[in-house]
């Protein structure tokens, strides 16, 4: 699960490689070997105190290059190796899809079957949802991972198969009509795993082991159905720590289908080869796997079966990534060139897409028909500097980005802290006198120079390639009657969860099973919570009777105001309390 932090910053990736490339362009010296260039890409993650990665390049079914960097387990001082096992997150979807295609090939099911034929417990939304819709992410089903976060599960809580299925059963609506749109949906692939189980009589982990992994010789690959099961040689998972260095973060998800696979770079080479020789399933299944979907209006969808299909540098590219906790995985295949690149990492600050593209470029530069690579964009490096804590006093205050959003900067124990509306408080690190960043995310904040009166009037939030001006001023303070309209207890039967909204110190504060979120105040909304957007339903006669909560992947879940005030209990037969 991912939370969107309003104020944050990006750790640099690949600065050494940028320097090497620039030096080559200036001096016209021969390019370094691919190994030296790849070493430079991962130099920041090749120390005994950092997590790392395994890199593999495959051509014509043979491994041209494989190398490991950094540590598989920092705490136990276990270095990374080509045999290290990684969670590959959503990259697992292609194995689930392959299992479905094997069953279709055997005549056990049709991709155009209504899913209710196998999953009668899924609600009837009045629209036919097919297995093909699930494969292509066009079902309209709400994403269960978004919903478990709305229900209050925290990042270190265990998400089980029963829990996910119970959420699906309680849904009353779809995001959109099946086939109308594309929206990445973990629910669909979790349900595909259930279909495999009910059609074959074997759970997906067992079916995949017998029908895919063992026949291909993938001895170090499995679907892990229980998060606590031991896996020999598994890399630990890390995220950058707010104070520097790294922190361990666990994967506590016990569902399969949408994720759950652990594997090695070597086993992925065996899987990649099957897309050329069809050893398992034959070339017909391989073609079906790479056939993209079509929307109701006939327009094409670039998602096939657990695989994206598009172009890079004018060449056909088939790939899928996976990111969960601190793990990152990407297998990118250029089928017409018989070239594939694999990067498996156990640190969330490794940009797997950038790394794979840069490695692929090394091997594509002389390929006929390949368009020139886009110029490399130098990575920004943010290095913390020490500031006198007294300098922070002038920066403290509220900076409005819009009527609905802003950032509160406070000074705590001599450090500058930032809190976006609907977001947790995080530390802001100085990299200039007026420039600050947070660790491991892509944004920074630059304060304006003080005016003649010494007052800082505003600043700029740099995020996602955009510069968003922020004006300093008083936080919006609502009237008491305005807060009263929003306060109360609100229940969602679809999530089976209760939210409490209170007015505190001029803020709207939301309490739910996952904790407390300060929403700020902006009238009837929308309000950003960090796990979804709240929009109140209000009218002059009844006030605010409820709200909807939603994300792009789980839209418009309804919450209704409820009255949980205690009522007197009448003694049996007395008629009196």
- Per-residue pLDDT, 315: 97
Kindly give the confidence (pLDDT) of every residue in the chain, 577 residues in length, as a single tens digit, with 9 standing for 90 and above. Answer: 333 333 333 323 333 333 333 333 344 456 789 999 999 999 999 999 999 999 999 999 899 999 999 999 999 999 999 999 999 999 999 999 999 999 999 999 999 999 999 999 999 999 999 999 999 999 999 999 999 999 998 767 788 899 999 999 999 999 999 999 999 999 999 999 999 999 999 999 999 999 999 999 999 999 987 777 777 889 999 998 877 789 998 888 889 999 999 999 999 999 999 999 999 999 999 999 999 999 999 999 999 999 999 999 999 999 999 999 999 999 999 999 999 999 999 999 999 999 999 999 999 988 998 999 888 766 677 889 999 999 999 999 999 998 767 899 999 999 999 988 666 778 899 999 999 998 756 789 999 999 988 899 999 999 878 999 999 998 877 788 888 889 999 999 999 999 999 988 778 899 999 999 888 777 767 888 889 999 999 988 888 999 999 999 999 999 999 988 755 555 544 444 4
Nearest CA among 414, 411, 437, 45 for reference residue 242: 437
Q: Do residues 237 and 327 make contact, with C-beta atoms less than 8 angstroms apart? A: yes
Maximal CA-CA distance, the chain: 99
Q: Which residues are bridge partners to 344 per DSSP?
A: 54, 329
Q: Where are the domains of the chain?
A: 1-32+382-475, 33-87+203-364, 480-562
**Residues ≥6 apart with Cβ < 8 Å to 224:** 87, 205, 231, 256, 260, 261, 262
Half-sphere exposure of 553 (CA within 13 A, CB side): 17
Q: Which helix (H) or strand (E) holds 509?
A: strand 507-512
pLDDT at 527: 86
How many residues appear in the chain?
A: 577
| Predicted pLDDT of residue 574 | 44
Is-contact 559 499, C-beta < 8 A? yes
Distance CA 138, CA 451 (A): 54
CA 439 distance to own-chain centroid: 17
Q: Strands 86-87 and 159-160: what pairing?
A: unpaired
Q: How far apart are CA 511 and CA 104, in angstroms?
A: 47
What global pTM score does this model have? 0.86
Cα(121)–Cα(413) distance, integer angstroms:
54
Within this chain, domains 1-32+382-475 and 33-87+203-364 share the same CATH topology: no
H or E segment to which residue 68 belongs? strand 62-69
477-511 b/e with 16+ CB inside 10 Å = b?
A: ebeeebbebbbbbbbbebbebbbebebeeebbbbe
Spatial CB neighbours of 548, under 8 Å, sequence gap ≥ 6: 534, 535, 537, 556, 557, 558, 559
Q: Is 563 helix (H, G, I), strand (E, B) or coil?
A: coil
Rg of the chain in Å (alpha carbons)? 26
Q: What is the DSSP letter of 215?
A: T
What is the spatial distance between Cα 513 and Cα 105, in angstroms, rounded to a whole number? 45
Tell me the C-alpha distance between 129 and 229, whole Å: 34
Question: How would you classify the pairing of strands 308-312 and 238-240?
Answer: unpaired
> What's the rounded Cα separation, in Å, for the pair 524 and 103?
50
Q: Does domain 480-562 have CATH number 2.40.128.50?
A: yes
Cα–Cα dist 525/510, whole Å: 13
3-state secondary structure 286-323: HHHHCCCCECCCCCECCECCCCEEEEECCEEEEEEEEE
pLDDT for the residue numbered 378? 66
The domain defined by 33-87+203-364 folds into Beta-lactamase (3.40.710)
Reported CATH class of domain 1-32+382-475: mainly beta
Q: Identify any residues that bridge with 374 across adjacent strands, giving them in sequence order.
A: none
């Amino acid at each position: 699960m991912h939370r969107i932090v309003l104020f944050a910053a990006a750790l640099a990736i690949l600065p050494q490689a940028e320097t090497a490339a620039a030096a080559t362009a200036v001096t016209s010296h021969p390019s370094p070997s691919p190994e030296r260039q790849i070493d430079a890409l991962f130099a920041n993650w090749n120390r005994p105190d950092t997590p790392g990665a395994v890199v593999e390049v495959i051509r014509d079914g043979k491994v041209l290059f494989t190398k490991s960097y950094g540590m598989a387990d920092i705490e136990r001082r276990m270095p990374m190796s080509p045999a290290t096992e990684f969670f590959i997150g959503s990259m697992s979807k292609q194995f689930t899809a392959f299992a479905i295609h094997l069953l279709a090939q055997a005549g056990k099911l049709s991709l155009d079957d209504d899913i209710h034929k196998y999953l009668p417990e899924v609600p009837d939304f009045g629209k036919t949802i097919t297995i093909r819709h699930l494969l292509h992410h066009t079902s309209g089903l709400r994403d269960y991972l978004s919903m478990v976060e709305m229900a209050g599960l925290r990042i270190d809580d265990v998400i089980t198969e029963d829990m996910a299925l119970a959420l699906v059963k309680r849904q009353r609506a779809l995001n959109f009509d099946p086939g109308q749109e594309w929206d990445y949906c973990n629910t669909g692939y979790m349900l595909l795993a259930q279909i495999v189980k009910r059609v074959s009589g074997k759970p997906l982990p067992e079916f995949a082991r017998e029908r895919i992994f063992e026949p291909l010789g993938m001895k170090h690959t499995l679907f892990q159905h229980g998060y606590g099961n031991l896996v020999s040689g598994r890399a630990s998972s890390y995220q950058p720590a707010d104070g520097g260095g790294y922190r361990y973060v666990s994967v506590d998800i016990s569902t399969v289908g949408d994720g759950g696979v652990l594997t090695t770079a070597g086993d992925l080479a065996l899987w990649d080869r099957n897309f050329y020789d069809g050893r398992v399933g034959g070339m017909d299944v391989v073609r079906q796997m790479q056939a993209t979907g079509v929307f109701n209006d006939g327009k094409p969808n670039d998602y096939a079966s657990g695989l994206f299909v598009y172009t890079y540098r004018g060449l056909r590219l088939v790939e899928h990534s996976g990111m969960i906790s601190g793990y990152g995985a990407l297998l990118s295949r250029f089928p017409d060139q018989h070239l594939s690149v694999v990067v498996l990492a156990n640190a969330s600050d490794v940009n797997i897409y950038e790394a794979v593209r840069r490695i692929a470029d090394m091997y594509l530069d002389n390929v006929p028909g390949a368009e020139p690579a886009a110029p490399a964009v130098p990575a920004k490096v943010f290095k913390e500097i020490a500031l006198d804590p007294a300098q922070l006093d002038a920066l403290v205050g509220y900076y409005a980005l819009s009527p609905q959003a802003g950032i509160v900067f406070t000074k705590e124990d001599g450090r500058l802290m930032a809190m976006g509306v609907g977001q947790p408080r995080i530390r802001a690190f100085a990299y200039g006198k007026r420039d600050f960043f947070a660790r491991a995310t892509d944004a920074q904040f630059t304060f304006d120079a003080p005016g003649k009166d010494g007052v800082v009037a505003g600043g700029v939030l740099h995020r996602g390639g955009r510069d968003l001006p922020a004006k300093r001023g008083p936080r919006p303070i609502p009237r008491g009657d305005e807060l009263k309209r929003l306060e109360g207890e609100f229940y969602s039967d679809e999530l089976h969860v209760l939210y409490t909204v209170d007015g505190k110190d001029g803020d709207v504060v939301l309490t739910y099973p996952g904790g407390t979120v300060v929403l700020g105040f902006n009238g009837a909304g929308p309000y950003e919570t960090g796990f979804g957007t709240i929009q109140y339903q209000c009218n002059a006669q009844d006030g605010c009777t409820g709200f909807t909560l939603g994300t792009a992947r789980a839209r418009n879940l309804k919450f209704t105001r409820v009255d949980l005030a205690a009522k007197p209990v009448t003694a049996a037969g007395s008629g009196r309390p």
